[in-house]
Amino acid sequence: MWNQKITEEHRKKLLLAKNAFSKHMTKIKFEVSPEELSSLHELNDKTNPEKLEKMGGAEGLAEILQTDLQMGTRKTEKERKYRDRKKHFGVNRFKEPEFKGFWPLFKDTFDDPTLKILIVSAIVSLVLGVTVEDPKTGWIEGTAILMAVLIVSFVTAINDYQKEKQFRELNKVKDNITCTVVREKQEEEFEGEGEKLAISIHDIVTGDIVVLETGSKVPADGILFYASELKANESVMTGEIKEINKTPEEDCWMISGTEITQGEGKFIVTSVGKHSQWGKIMEKAKSKEEVNTPLQDKLEKMADQIGKLGLWSAVLTVAVLLAKWGFRLYTKLNEGEEFVFHDLVEVVDAVIVGITIVVVAVPEGLPLAVTISLAYSMKKMMEDNNLVRKLESCETMGNATCICSDKTGTLTKNEMTVVAGYFFGEKYEEVPECEQFDEKYLDIFVRSIALNSKAYFHFDEEKQKDVVMGSKTEGALLLMLKQWKQPFNKIREEQENLIAKSIPFSSKRKRMTTIINHKDGYLVFCKGASEIILDKCVMHVNGENLDSLDEERINKLKNVIEGMASNGLRTLCLAYRYVDKNNFDNFLEEDPEKEIETQLTLLSIVGIKDPVRDAVPQAVEDSKSAGVTVRMVTGDNIVTAKHIAKECGIYTEGGLVMEGFDFRHMTNEERLKIIPNLQVLARSSPKDKLTLVKHLKEMGEVVGVTGDGTNDAPALKEANVGLSMGIAGTDVAKEASDIVILDDNFKSIVIAIMWGRSVYDNIRKFLQFQLTVNVVALSTSFLAAVSGVGLPLKAVQLLWVNLIMDTLAALALGTEPPTKDLLKRRPYKKDASLLNGIMKRNIGAQSVYQLLVLLGILKFGGAFFGLDPLVAEEKLHLDCIVFNTFVLMQVFNEINCRKINDEANIFKGIFNNMIFIGIWVGIIIIQAIVIEFGGSFFSTTHLNTFEWGVSTFLGLLSIPLGFVFRLIPAKGDPQ
Ligand SMILES: Nc1ncnc2c1ncn2[C@@H]1O[C@H](COP(=O)(O)OP(=O)(O)OP(=O)(O)O)[C@@H](O)[C@H]1O
Ligand SMILES: [Ca+2]
C-alpha cells in the first residue's frame, strides 16, 4: 500500500533536486495545512486510513512535508532554525495554564474576610475621626490601618508571585523531555542515514523523523513507517490499559502522550503542539488545582484551631471593652450628660482592636511557610541534582525509613569496560588481542555484537570524545571491538537489511536476540545474563572447532562466571545458532523461549567492570546513621551483586542475599519474615521490586525506590517516594516518579533525605516562633483590656508585628539550609506530632517570660521610667516602650527558635543562612525607624538611649533564659 519502497535511485534524485532547489530558495512553502494533517488522527474516525491513503501513506507524507524517511529534514533548514515549519505548522508546545500576574494576585489577597472587615472599620474610623473627633489628627489611625493593610496584601502578593514564578520555571524543566530524531547530516551527502540527534520534545517540528524505543513517550502525532516488536500503551487517550501492537501495515497511528512499552520504531511527525491529539486534550483541560501536602494539611488544621482561639479572645476583648464603654456611657447619661456622636468613636476603636487581634492570631503564615520552604528547597535541590516533580515528595523523603536502590548507574558509575573474558574456549585475565582467534568465529562474534545491539557512539562536542549512547553494557562490547579495530559500524550499515527479527532486551528476560537471514537459513545471535544463556547452550566454540558441552566443561564455565562475578564484574554470555529454513514452517513466529533461543553455541563470556561511585560508601554510611536502611535490588548476577553491595557497605556480615527467583516463589508470610534481614535482591525483575515495595509498606516503612526502566513504573508509583534516573531513566519511569535524580547518583538520594528533613524541621522552628508571638500578643491585649490599663499595642503596631511573624519569619526560618546533623537522627514516626515536648516547653517558658515583662512595664514602668500613665502623652510613651520591648523580645527569640531540639549552640550555622541574617537585621532597622519616625502614624514616640537600652536588654535576656529553660526536662521526639 502506501509504504511501498521507493527505489534508492529515485530517492537520491528527489533529494538532489530538492537540495538544488533549496540552495536558491531557502524559504519553503507547504501545500498542506496543519488542520488537514491533524484530521488524520481524529479519534474514532473510521475514515482515517482513507485520508492517509489519499496523501500517499508515509512516503507520500514525507514528500508533502519535504522531508525524507531515512535522512530526515534537510540540513539547509537548520540554519533557518526550522522557522518555516514552525511558522506553518506551529511549535510543539501546549497552552500553559494561565499565569496570574502580580495584580490579580494582589487583588486575591483582599478575599480574606478579616482584611475586608478591617478595611471597612478603618474607613468608618476615618470618617468618624475627621467628622466628630478632630479633623487635624482624626484621620491618622484610619489611614494608617489602610496603609498597613495595603502593605500586608502587597507582601503576601509578592510572595505568591515569587512562588508561582518558581513553580513555572520548575515545570518548564520538569516537562522538558528529550527524544531522538533523524535529521540530515551536516557534512556528507547521501551517506547512509541521517544523523540521530537527541533534542528537546519542544523542538520537534512537523516532518521530523522520530525514533522510538522502549520507554519513550510519543512526543507528537505521526505516522509509523518502521517498527520492530513495537507495543504502545495508549491508555492516556483511550483509557484502556492494554498493550497495543503497532505496525506500519495495521496500526500506524502514533498518538502524542502515549507510551512505548516495548520495541522500537520510527515515525514521521504530522501534528505538533495544539494540533496534536494530546494538545487538544490539554487545551480543554483546566489547570490542575494545587493539592496540599500532608504537612500543609497538618498545619492548616493547627492554624484553624489557633485562629478559633484568636477569634474567641478577640470577641472577649471586644466584649470587655464594650461593656466598659456601656458602663461609662450609662453613668454619663445618668449624670445628666447628653449622648454625643463622639461617644461612638470608642465603639469603632474596640471593633478595630478586635479584628486586629484576629488578623494577628490567624497564623496564615503557617501554610505559607511550608510553601516557601518547599519552593525554596525545590530550587536548591536542583543544584544538588534532585528534580522534585511532586512537592510533597520532598517532605516525605525526610521521613523515609528505607531505600531500595538499583545497582547499575546508581551505586556504580555506569562506565563499563570489558576487563576479562572467556573467548572461544580459553579464559583470559584481561582482554586479549584478537589476531590469535580463528577468523571465521571472530567474524561471527563481531557480527553478533554489531547486529545484536542498539548502542552507538556519538561524538560529544563538549567532551571532544566519543560517548556511548544507549545501553552501557553494549557500549562495553562495542569499545572492545573498537580496540580490536573491527569495523562494526560498516557491518551494521551493510548488513542491517539482513535482520529478520529482533527481540529487544528487557529486564524481565535479561537477554536480547537478533535473527538475520543467512544463506538458506537464519543466524540467531543471542546475548544476555550468563547463567541464563549458558543454560541454553549445547555446544561451544573451542579454538577452531565446535565441541559439545559436557558436564566437565559446563562446570568449568560456571567457575569462570563465578570467578569474574566474585570480583564484582558483570558477566554476559554471547552465543549463536544456525537454523535451516527447511526445518521450520515459519521459524520467525516460533516461541522464542522454546524454539528460537535453544540449542545455542557458546562464543564467549565477558566480564564487564563497572566501578562503584566514589561517594557511595560514605553515602550508604550516612543513610545508616540516619536510620535509613539501604537495600540493593538489581538485575545483575547474585555473586556480582553481593560483591558490589559489600563494597558499598550495603551487604554486611549476617545479612541476607537472595535471588529474585527464590523471592518470587515464597509465600507472603515467608517474605515478611525474611525482609527485615534482606540486603540484596539479585537477578530480580521489576515485578519483584514491586512486591518488595508493597511488603515494606505493609510493614509500616516509608519507602524510597529507584528505577530507570519502563517496567519499573509500577514500583515507582507504589513507593512513598519514587526516584527515577535522569540519565539512564526512560521517559515513562521519569513520569511515574516523584523525584528525578539528575546525575543518577545514590549520593543525591541521601541529600534529598537531608532536604526533606530540613523542610520539616524548618516548619517546626517557625511554628515555635509564631506560637510564642501569638500567645503573648493575644494575652497582653486581653489582659490589658480587662485590667483597664488601656491597650498597649495599637492596631497598626499589631499589623507590623503580624508582618514580622507571618511573612518575614517564614522566610527567615523556612530557608534554613540543611546540615549534616540532620542525618544523625532517626526518621520521625509517621504519626509524630508537630509539636514535641521540647517545643511546648520553649513556647510556654518564653511566653511566660514575655508576658511578665510586658505586664511588669505596664504596671511598674511608670515609676521606673518616671512617666505618669494618667497623662495621655506619657502613657503613649510608656506604651511605646512596651511595643518596642515586645518586638525586640520576638527578634531575639527568633534566634532561640533556630533549634527545636535541645541543642546547646543556637547560633550554630547562623552565617550560612544569609536570608535569616538579612531579615533579622532588616526587622531591627525598620523597628528603629518605626519607633523614631513612626510618629502619630504608628502611635510611637522617640525613645531615649536608656529606654532603648532597657528594651534591648529585656529582649536579649530571652537568649540566656533560653539556655536556662533548656534545663527544664522535656520530651523530644519519640524515636
Ligand atoms: N543490552 C543487553 N543485552 C543483553 N543482556 C543484557 C543487556 N544489558 C544487560 N544485560 C544482562 O541483563 C542483566 C541485568 O539486567 P537488568 O536490566 O535487569 O539490570 P540493570 O538494570 O542493568 O541493573 P540494576 O537493576 O542493578 O540497575 C545483566 O546482568 C546482563 O547480564
Ligand atoms: Ca497572622
3-state SS, 246-258, equals CECCCECEECCCC
Cα 964 to middle of ligand 1, angstroms: 60
SS3 873: helix
572 Cβ below 6 A of ligand 1: yes
Residues measured by CB to lie within 5 Å of ligand 2, the ion: 802, 806
- What would the grid cell of residue 723 be? 526516584
Phi, psi dihedral angles at 842 (to 5 degrees): -60, -45
- Tell me what pLDDT residue 287 has: 46
Domain 417-609: give its CATH code: 3.40.1110.10
Q: Smallest Cα–Cα separation from 512: which of 498, 501, 496, 497?
A: 501
Is 528 close to ligand 1, i.e. is its CB under 6 Å away? yes
Per-residue exposure over 889-898, b if at least 16 CB sit within 10 Å of its own CB, e if not: bbbbbbbbbb
Backbone angles phi and psi of 46, in degrees to 5 = -70, -15
pTM for this predicted structure: 0.76
Using CB atoms within 10 Å of the CB of residue 309, give its burial: 0 to 12 exposed, 13 to 18 middle, 19+ buried.
Answer: middle
Q: Let me know: does 560 contact 605? Beta carbons within 8 Å.
A: yes
* Topology adopted by domain 300-378+755-965: Calcium-transporting ATPase, transmembrane domain (1.20.1110)
- The ligand minimizing its distance to the Cα of 114 is 2
Nearest ligand 1 atom, CA 641? 26
Yes or no: say if 898 and 813 are a contact pair by the CB < 8 Å rule. yes
φ, ψ (nearest 5 deg) of residue 725: -95, 125
Distance CA(15)–CA(71), nearest Å, equals 10
Q: How far apart are CA 548 and CA 785, in angstroms?
A: 101
**To which residue does cell 562495553 refer?**
476
- 155: its cell numbers: 507582601
309 CA distance to ligand 2 middle (Å): 12
Residues 6+ apart with CB under 8 A from 434: 442, 484, 486
C-alpha to C-alpha distance for 848 and 961, rounded to whole angstroms: 11
Cα dihedral across residues 17, 18, 19, 20: positive or negative: positive
Query: Helix or strand or coil: residue 830?
Result: coil
Given ligand 1 and candidates 469, 505, 561, 564, which is best to mutate, with the most ligand atoms within 8 Å of its CB?
505
637 CB less than 6 Å from ligand 1? Answer: yes
Is the alpha carbon torsion for 165, 169, 174, 178 positive or negative?
positive
Q: Residues 51-54: contacts with CB within 8 Å, 24+ apart?
A: 52/2, 52/223, 52/252, 53/1, 53/2
Rounded distance, CA 771 to CA 411, Å?
44
d(CA 891, CA 901): 19
Distance of alpha carbon 266 from the chain centroid: 30
**pLDDT on residue 173:** 67
Helix (H, G, I), strand (E, B) or coil at 649: coil
Q: Whole-angstrom Cα distance, residue 69 to residue 52?
A: 16
How many CB atoms lie under 10 A from the CB of residue 404?
Answer: 24
* Half-sphere exposure at residue 389, Cβ-oriented, CA atoms within 13 angstroms: 21
Dist CA 828 CA 414 (whole Å): 34
pLDDT value of residue 286: 47
790 vs 874: CA distance, rounded Å: 13
Which 3 state secondary structure label does DSSP give 286? coil
pLDDT at position 661 is 93
Query: Pairing relation of β-strands 402-405 and 417-423?
Result: unpaired
CA distance 276 to 208: 14
Burial class (CB in 10 A: 0-12, 13-18, 19+), 901: middle
Sign, CA dihedral 279-284-289-293, equals negative
- Any atom of ligand 1 within 6 Å of the Cβ of 406: yes
Mutate to test the pocket of ligand 1, among 454, 510, 530, 569 (most ligand atoms within 8 A of CB): 510
Helices (H), 686-808: 686-698, 713-718, 731-736, 746-787, 795-803
Quote the CA–CA distance of 524 and 27 in Å, as a whole number. Answer: 49
Would you kindly state where each structural domain of the chain is located, as residue ranges?
A: 300-378+755-965, 386-412+613-744, 417-609
- Residue by residue, DSSP assigns 581-626 as GGG-S-GGGS-IIIIIS-SEEEEEEEEEE-PBPTTHHHHHHHHHHT
Residue 728: phi and psi, rounded to 5, are: -85, -15
Is 406 one of the annotated active-site residues of the chain?
yes
Take atom 29 of ligand 1 and give the residue whose Cα is closest.
636
- DSSP-based three-state secondary structure for 369: helix
Q: Is the CB of 570 under 6 A from ligand 1?
A: yes
* Cross-strand bridge partners of residue 388: 739
From 208, 349, 406, 708, the catalytic residue: 406
Residue 412 is given by DSSP the state B
Q: Whole-angstrom distance between the N-terminal and C-terminal Cα of the chain?
A: 70
Q: Taking Cα atoms as reference points, which of 795, 769, 777, 767 lies closest to residue 886? A: 777
Atom of ligand 1 nearest to the CA of 632: 26
Q: Which CATH fold topology does 386-412+613-744 show? A: Rossmann fold (3.40.50)
DSSP 153-219: HHHHHHHHHHHHHHHHHHHHHHT--EEEEEE--SS-SS-SS-EEEEEEGGG--TT-EEEEETT-B--
The answer to whether the CB of 885 falls within 8 A of the CB of 943 is no
- 337: which DSSP letter? P
Give the list of residues 6+ apart from residue 475 with CB closer than 8 angstroms, or none: 416, 455, 468
Q: Any idea of the CA torsion for 714, 717, 719, 721, to the nearest 10 degrees?
A: 140
Q: Does 280 sit in the ligand 1 pocket, CB within 6 Å?
A: no
**Which residue has its alpha carbon closest to ligand 1 atom 25?**
634
**Owner of C-alpha cell 478595630:** 352
Tell me, what's the pLDDT at 119? 82
ipTM of this complex prediction, to 2 decimal places: 0.95
CB 792 within 8 A of CB 882: yes
Distance CA 234, CA 216 (A): 12
pLDDT value of position 18? 59
pLDDT for position 10? 65
pLDDT at 290 (0 to 100): 55
| Residue 689 in contact with ligand 1 by CB distance below 6 A | no
Q: How far apart are CA 843 and CA 247, in angstroms?
A: 68
Residues of the chain whose pLDDT is less than 70? 1-26, 94-99, 114, 132-133, 137, 163, 166-167, 169-176, 186-193, 239-241, 282-293, 364-365, 368, 788-790, 974-975
For residues 875 and 862, give the distance between their C-alpha atoms in angstroms, rounded to a whole number. 8
Asked if 514 contacts 553 with a C-beta cutoff of 8 angstroms, the reply is no
* Half-sphere exposure for 840 (CA within 13 Å, toward CB): 10
502 in contact with ligand 1, CB cutoff 6 A: no
Beta bridge partners of 521: 518, 580
SS3 394: helix
